[in-house]
Amino acid sequence: MYRYDEQDHALVRQRVAQFRGQTERYLAGELKEEEFLPLRLQNGLYVQRLAPMLRIAVPYGLMNSAQLRRLAHITRKYDKGYAHFTTRQNVQLNWPNLEDVPDILAELAEVEMHAVQTSGNCIRNTTTDQFAGVARDELVDPRPYCELIRQWSTFHPEFAFLPRKFKIAVCGANEDRAAIRAHDIGLQIVKNAQGETGFQVFVGGGLGRTPILGAAIRDFLPETDLLSYLEAIVRVYNQLGRRDNKFKARIKILVKAMGSEAFARHVEAEWEQIKDGADQLTPEAITWAKRFFPEPAYKSFTDGHGDAVLRDQAGEDKAFARWLERNTFPHRVNGYQSVTLSTKPTGIPPGDVTDRQLEAIAELADKYSFGEVRVTHEQNVVLADVEQEQLFALWQEARKHGFATPNIGTLTDMICCPGGDYCSLANAKSIPVAEAIQRKFDDLDYLYDLGDLDLNISGCMNACGHHHIGHIGILGVDKKGEEFYQIQLGGNSTKKASLGKVLGPSFSRDEMPETIEKILDVFVENRQPEEFFIDTYNRIGLQPFKERVYAKAS
């Protein structure tokens, strides 16, 4: 992974000092509340319902074991002993004291971490595929480009006060595991006819109260032009994006209002002026960035070697077989597999881990996966490089620590925002809904029979739980002070991206598990053999679900 040099260290130290000064001025009454607000947000600090919340940056989701151990220590020393993995591949602390935040940032800086631009109206943490660099369907490893984008966007002097937040995602594989079309900028790595690497550029995607999928404004951007093109896009947005209404300030509204072709023309005109400038990525810079993501010291196995071992072990242990089936992912190197540690056993808020679990993950990473982990946008944790021969041992250890729930990709592996339990923006709680659904559908054979199914829950229309792109999406709404839940069907975050459609009137919390059951019944009755929920939905449409769910009792 990327390692800081003296310049990185100095910049992050100076940031800590700057924020310490700002916090002191605020506490002394020298900095007004409204002035401190964007400054603290750009340092990841929210003031939430119960306490401040600190969002720590995990660039493109990648962390090492030393960083995990430091996070564990920080949650113990400054918080209540647990942390939360977010859909932006970051980590949140829910109970720090405002006064302690500069010290927390100083501790993070020692292990090459920070909270820079994890919130606020600026360019946020760039996200990517959790299987970057190891997936079999990968064209090019996106991580070096993510790192170059991280450097370009960090403390960017021109873009720290944009009309609204700004999110970039990069995908280097054939399957989109980064939901790139749900981002302000989505970058798909492609190769042209000459075999050169470049990017297909999507702009203007985003969820929230006006969900829109990004439009392709360029089919092939040469890799050398990555940063200048990003600069052109954000510059056009900074000048022309609406600032009169925060609900209409995202780039998606600008792209929609102008039309994506007109917007593209603006970007191209701006880019023409700067494309030959200093931001042009030299081959040396790309080679340099790639050097931080070398192939780990893989052992050499013959094709199919590990498969035989696993077949035997799986044959003898059904629980292991289940886990192997759901929680591991094919690896491009013979004899290796990637493992997803599930943070979603029933009854634990999705994405929550304790300090001890953070240390356990660090230990597993050291022992089985070259000391590194990735946070996924589904709020789980990936060990990317595990020898197949070690999977059984890893599974046993993961099970002891509560990470081996074999539910990855199923209904109970749901994305869920913190909701009304923590978040001051939320209209409704989301964690208890997740839990009620997990309790109702605890039969693994049934879950496996349902197959891959994304269920996403947001406690308000800001859509942190990505409900628009879940196959089943749940949105908490407030009606006269009471919490209700609206259901959407047909969202999809993959290459065939789509936004969910509202099923109909909303439900009370108590009605939710039963309503989900009715939806699943319609699926099961209508599916063709081996068909996934989203495909059945696309074939039969919303109506059959609507009829069942809103049928009058006869």
For residue 170, give Cα distances in angstroms to 143, 144, 193, 453. 9, 11, 21, 23
DSSP-assigned beta bridge partners for residue 325: none
Minimum distance from CB of 19 to other proteins (Å)? 10
Minimum distance from CB of 189 to other proteins (Å)? 19
- Which residues, including other chains, have CB under 8 Å from residue 481's CB and lie 6 or more apart? none
Minimum distance from CB of 148 to other proteins (Å)? 7
Minimum distance from CB of 258 to other proteins (Å)? 15
Minimum distance from CB of 198 to other proteins (Å)? 18
Query: Would you tell me how many other CB atoms lie within 10 Å of the CB of residue 422?
Result: 23
Minimum distance from CB of 49 to other proteins (Å)? 24
Instruction: Dig out the tokens for 301 from the structure.
Output: 């196995």
Instruction: Dig out the tokens for 88 from the structure.
Output: 């932006």
- Name the 3-class secondary structure at 444: helix
Contact between residue 167 and residue 121 where contact means Cβ atoms under 8 Å apart: no
Nearer to other proteins, 289 or 426 (CB): 289
Nearer to other proteins, 235 or 374 (CB): 235
DSSP-assigned beta bridge partners for residue 222: 198
Nearer to other proteins, 219 or 276 (CB): 276
Nearer to other proteins, 18 or 174 (CB): 18
Nearer to other proteins, 278 or 551 (CB): 278
Contact between residue 60 and residue 432 where contact means Cβ atoms under 8 Å apart: no
Nearer to other proteins, 30 or 219 (CB): 30
Q: H/E/C letters for each residue in 124-193? A: CCCEECCCCCCCCCECCCCHHHHHHHHHHHCCCCCCCCCCCCECEEEECECCCCCCHHHCCEEEEEEECC
Minimum distance from CB of 71 to other proteins (Å)? 24
The residues that touch other proteins, with contacts defined as CB under 8 A, are 5, 7, 10-11, 14-15, 17-18, 22, 30, 35, 38-39, 121, 148, 151-162, 227, 235, 238-239, 243, 273, 277-279, 281-282, 284-285, 287-289
Instruction: Dig out the tokens for 241 from the structure.
Output: 């994006």
Nearer to other proteins, 285 or 309 (CB): 285
DSSP-assigned beta bridge partners for residue 479: 482
Please provide the DSSP assignment of 303-357 as one string.
TTHHHHHHHHHHHH-HHHHHHHHHHEEE-SSTTEEEEEEP---TTS-TTEEEHHH
Minimum distance from CB of 159 to other proteins (Å)? 7
Nearer to other proteins, 203 or 381 (CB): 203
